[in-house]
Structure 1
Amino acid sequence: MERRMNIAEAAPALYGVVRDLDLAVRKSGLDPQLLHLLKLRASQINHCAYCVDLHVRESLADGVAPQKLHLLAVWRESPLFDERERAVLEWTESVTLAAETGIPDEAWKKVRAVLSEAEIGRLTVAIGMINLWNRIAVGSRMSHPVDAAQ
């Protein structure tokens, strides 16, 4: 696919704010392993090849088990994910697909059972953040970083 535009050049002030928020999310105290899983799962849902590749690489570099990454798309059927991860993944999917899911009370109850309200607040902003990055990457047709590895 041909790149449509460079958002950083087209809207530099706004792009800077997005980068700052992304940095704040990374420094917010969320468990890095959970953050990797939610970023990758949202990117899979949003069909963002650029972000899927990026977040697989980052996850592996930070010690996430490769098999867990292989099975993330089918996390409900895999025994590799614990209760906390399952609740976070369900919340991630519900928020990412809000127009379809309505973010059901059941998803809230599951995530609230394993995280504090403050953690869920940070988690929800992190989900919003990766969804924004996905839309920027897909909308602008960002070049796929896997090409550099070959």
Structure 2
Amino acid sequence: METRINLFEKGQKAISTLFGTNVYLKKSSIEKQLLELVDFRVSQINNCAYCLDMHSKELRALGETEQRIFGISAWRESPFYSNREKAAFEWAEAVTASTVPDTIYERAIAAFTEEELVDLTLAVTAINTWNRLNTSFYNPIGSYRVGQFG
């Protein structure tokens, strides 16, 4: 895999646009910890080891428990998540699959304001983009440091 382009060395111009999205999302009224949980869940779906490493480290730095991190893939059956978190996971999964039925929209809009739901959707599309970039090109998995990208 080391013969592939190193995304952070050769793709700086392209990925700088995504960093702008991340700056915007940090100003969102959606809790930072919830955005990190969503990033982790979407990264599980997309099998992105680099992003799983990154977001697990960020979640731990925010005080997230191992039990909640490990349980995210089974969030529907787990009692560890709030209704808002569950609505976010369900929304993230539907957006990632490009299929958002009315029932999922109704649960999401009951848990989030309209602006927050737009921001959550932007966050989901951004992590999907990061996942695709990181699984397509070389990135040294395990090298991420908490707060490395701001």
TM-score (structure 2 length as normaliser): 0.89
1:145 to 136, 142, 146: 142
Equivalent AA in structure 2 for residue 140 of structure 1: F
2:47 partner SS: coil
Return the alpha-carbon distance in structure 1 between the equivalents of residues 144 and 110 of structure 2: 42
Deviation at 1:22, TM superposition (A): 1.6
User: What is the correspondence of 1:61-140 to structure 2 with a 5 Å cutoff?
Assistant: 61-98=61-98, 102-140=99-137
2:123 partner SS: helix
Equivalent AA in structure 2 for residue 108 of structure 1: Y
Question: Percent identical across equivalent pairs?
Answer: 36
Q: Is the 8 A contact 1:3 1:140 kept in 2?
A: no
Return the alpha-carbon distance in structure 2 between the equivalents of residues 3 and 40 of structure 1: 27
Deviation at 1:40, TM superposition (A): 0.2
Equivalent AA in structure 1 for residue 97 of structure 2: L
Structure 1 residue runs of 5 or longer lacking an equivalent are: none
Partner of 2:44: 44
Q: CA RMSD in A?
A: 1.8
How many positions carry a matched residue from both structures? 145
Equivalent AA in structure 2 for residue 69 of structure 1: I
Question: Which deviates more from structure 2 when the two are superposed, residues 52-61 or residues 24-33?
Answer: 24-33
User: Greater helix percent: which structure?
Assistant: 1
Deviation at 1:141, TM superposition (A): 3.0
Partner of 1:60: 60
TM-score (structure 1 length as normaliser): 0.89
Return the alpha-carbon distance in structure 2 between the equivalents of residues 120 and 147 of structure 1: 29
Equivalent AA in structure 2 for residue 94 of structure 1: A
Partner of 1:25: 25
Q: Is the 8 A contact 1:3 1:143 kept in 2?
A: no
Return the alpha-carbon distance in structure 2 between the equivalents of residues 106 and 47 of structure 1: 27
